[in-house]
Chains A and B, each alone.
Chain A
Amino acid sequence: MDYKGIIAKYKDVSGGIIEAFHAVQKELSYLPEEVIVEAAKIFNIPVAEAYGVATFYSYFSVEPRGKNIIRICESAPCHIAGAADVVAALERELGIMMGETTADGKFTLEYTECVGQCQATPVITVNGKPYAGVSPAQVSAILAEYK
């Protein structure tokens, strides 16, 4: 993947390193070391600082992740509505625990803060797309969309 080309596009944008990271992560699902090193070079900051940016924002990951990122809200309203049961269903269905990635590299399970869909809890997002009022029974149908 031409991560250098992607990063270079944001060279003259103010605060462009954040946008560059988003753009690369869209392709790779995470920010590998060489991306951080390249971004530091392009934006003329120390690698230590670029790494600080990459780890400051919870939407960036410096660890390898799957192609599809599933996030489950861990805020109070979803918690009361039974988010734990949805977590259990996802973990069972994918054969991984929260924070892990499936062996085929297709799915990663993560927690997230409130995504602002509290009208129908619990909420999960897949690659940023929200699914509201999710029950454990719906989990396999949602996953099937991405398989």
Chain B
Amino acid sequence: MVNITINGMKASVPEGSTILQAAQQVGIYIPTLCYHPDQSVKANCRVCVCEVEGNRLLQAACAAPVFEGMVIKTNTPKVLEARKTIVELILANHPQDCLNCIRNGACELQTLAEDLIIRDNPFELMVRGFEKDLSTPSLFRDPDKCVLCRRCIEACSVIQSVNALGVEGRGSEAMVVPTLGKDLIDSPCVMCGQCIHACPVGAIGEIENIDQFLAAVADPDTIVVTQIAPAVRVAIAEEIGMATGELPMEVFVNGLRQIGFDHVLHTNFTADLTILEEGNELLKRVKEGGTLPMFTSCSPGWINFCETFYPDLLDNLSTCKSPQQMFGALVKTYWAEKMNIDPSKIFSVSIMPCVAKKFEADRPEMYDSGYKDVDIVLTTREIGRLFRQSGIDFSKLPASSFDSWMGAYTGAAVIFGASGGVMEAALRTVYEVVTGNTLEDVNFTGVRGFEGIKEATVDLNGLEVKVAVAHSLSNARKLMDQVRAGESPYHFIEIMACPGGCVGGGGQPITKRNQKRIERIDAIYLEDEAMPIRKSHENPEVKTIYEEFLHEPLGHKSHELLHTHYHDKHKKYL
């Protein structure tokens, strides 16, 4: 431990702490901008400067380590003046259109300006005048708003190992750009959206589809149908001023009816269906000597990653569409028929924790119903905005159940939202299918949690199945390199592109800390535990759809509607 004095108070902090960490420990708030709790220290914005006795120059609290006897002052007039000037200079290069910005009210720069009491900026406004990059259906870049903190670059390179972003030029001419200064769509970007969470301002954000949704609601001839992904419920509460996981599902459903959805259904239904298809596909590959290990295919950021960086391993991907796209293909065929609704009148909206889902819905191969299977994708954040726009008070809203068909689901589908969940759901079903025995303890805790790569071995009546689970694409890369080298010991690998799985997806409420992702994971498993049915193959509506429509897993109808194929993206620059 090291003894320091901070703002006149004595404190003892662990050796190697930075001034910032020491201040946090004693309850002193130091403002930051480029600092990110789960990333490396960058110290490029200088907002966190402090006075250290014996030093002529102010020190960046995020980078300066404490030493024995250090005397730190975090709020002297000199410090406050310096911080104010630094933020004024940043603001002098920043467009002053906060009222129209996607991060209005959730912007770190806005908060800093408020905290530092910035009123009349003495510096002349000089915005560089870059064009917005609207080249992808998932993400936009607005380089004029960039504060050059470089957190997006670290998210893209270190966490995701995608390296779609870098710096062009230097000093006041520097700018964060996609590879070779081109548009995002030409870079290796997989559209996971982790850069959105990393960005302190509105320089990167999701492409919003709110106007299309409102237009569909306004049209009396259009039947607006929605599906909700499992990771959305636990996080949507954060958008409406509640604690993670606090909004009950049935109240959420009513909220969706309030903003104009005619039928509220659940992606969890097709998550259960995915398990039946994917579980059987795995068994078929094991029995018939198909390509192994098989990879899960639910995460569209991961699919983009595999198509970009590992096109030689596309045969390993399960041919199952993601639950979103299975749902899309069924809602305009099976469901429309059952409900006696003309599928051309259905506007199919999915509510997702994900921005890559917007790209997935736009894929040309996703028209198997004869229409665009999923018309638009709204993220958790967009739904939060729509709730606030409609002024819904969730504390007084009564509950409402999901509509049928395609609204029933099990605990196995719920856990699709967390890393390891697809694997666990598959094991619950595969175990019973292979052994014919009832699985008494459905909890495969070995594949749960925030560990980057998890593995487990399951004994299925003498058939030993080795599985691995990875979240964040840098971890996926490790498993993929092993497969490419022919050294992978696994039969089945689950990959989710985002940290923590879908709960940490690029469309979720802005999340700086992994701790928040872990809270959401806990909420997911609580929901699973409370479900009366926790195995996908016991979902009564899934049983019905096989009896009435699909007839058998991997059958003719399934292949037509529920399975897909993949393409080498042939990216020029990696």
Contact = CB atoms under 8 A, between A and B. Distances in A.
Contact of B168 (A37, A46, A51): A51
B354 to A, nearest CB: 23
Contacts of B119: none
A49 interface: yes
A17 interface: no
15 contacts: A46-B163, A46-B166, A47-B163, A47-B573, A48-B157, A48-B163, A48-B164, A48-B178, A51-B166, A51-B168, A51-B177, A52-B166, A55-B181, A56-B167, A56-B169
B165 interface: yes
Interface residues of B, number: 18
B180 A46 contact: no
Contacts of B319: none
Interface string B550-574: 0000000000000000000000111
A111 B398 CA distance: 69
Nearest to B161: A46
Contact of B163 (A36, A49, A62): A49
Interface in B21-54: none
Contact of B574 (A36, A47, A52): A47
B169 A46 contact: no
Nearest to B153: A48
Nearest to A46: B163
A52 B179 CA distance: 9
A48 B179 contact: yes
A49 B166 contact: yes
Nearest to A58: B170
A33 interface: yes
Contact of B166 (A33, A48, A62): A48
A122 B170 CA distance: 26
Contacts of B574: 46-47
Interface pairs A-B: 8 shortest CB-CB: A48-B166, A46-B163, A47-B573, A48-B179, A52-B166, A55-B168, A56-B170, A52-B167
A75 to B, nearest CB: 16
Nearest to B165: A48
Q: Contact residue range for chain A?
A: 10 to 19
Contacts of B168: 51-52, 55
Interface in A111-140: none
A118 B574 CA distance: 45
Main secondary structure of the interface of B (DSSP, over half): mixed
A37 B166 CA distance: 14
Contacts of A52: 166-168
B574 to A, nearest CB: 6
Contacts of A37: 572-573
B297 interface: no
B187 interface: yes
A87 B178 CA distance: 35
Contacts of A36: 180
A51 B163 contact: no
From A33, A47, A48, A56, residue with most partner B Cβ within 10 Å? A48
B179 A46 contact: yes
B321 to A, nearest CB: 31
Interface in B483-536: none
A49 B161 CA distance: 12
From A36, A37, A47, A62, residue with most partner B Cβ within 10 Å? A47
B180 A33 contact: yes
Interface string B346-369: 000000000000000000000000
B169 A55 contact: yes
B80 to A, nearest CB: 34
From A55, A56, A62, residue with most partner B Cβ within 10 Å? A55
B498 to A, nearest CB: 20
Nearest to B178: A48
A11 B234 CA distance: 50
Contacts of A46: 157, 163, 166, 179, 574
A1 B302 CA distance: 39
Interface in A30-65: 33, 36-37, 40, 46-49, 51-52, 55-56, 62
A49 B179 CA distance: 8
A52 B178 CA distance: 10
Contacts of B179: 46-48, 51
Contacts of A40: 573
B281 to A, nearest CB: 34
A51 B181 contact: yes
Nearest to A37: B573
Interface in A46-101: 46-49, 51-52, 55-56, 62
From B170, B177, B573, residue with most partner A Cβ within 10 Å? B573
Nearest to B573: A47
Interface string B157-189: 100000111111110000001111100000100
Contacts of B165: 48
Given A46-B163, A46-B574, A51 B157 contact: no
A138 to B, nearest CB: 32
A56 B165 CA distance: 15
Nearest to A41: B574
Contacts of B181: 51, 55, 62
A46 B157 CA distance: 9
Nearest to B163: A46
A52 B165 CA distance: 10
A40 B166 CA distance: 13
Interface in B183-201: 187
B181 to A, nearest CB: 7
Contacts of A33: 180
A136 to B, nearest CB: 30
A48 B187 contact: yes
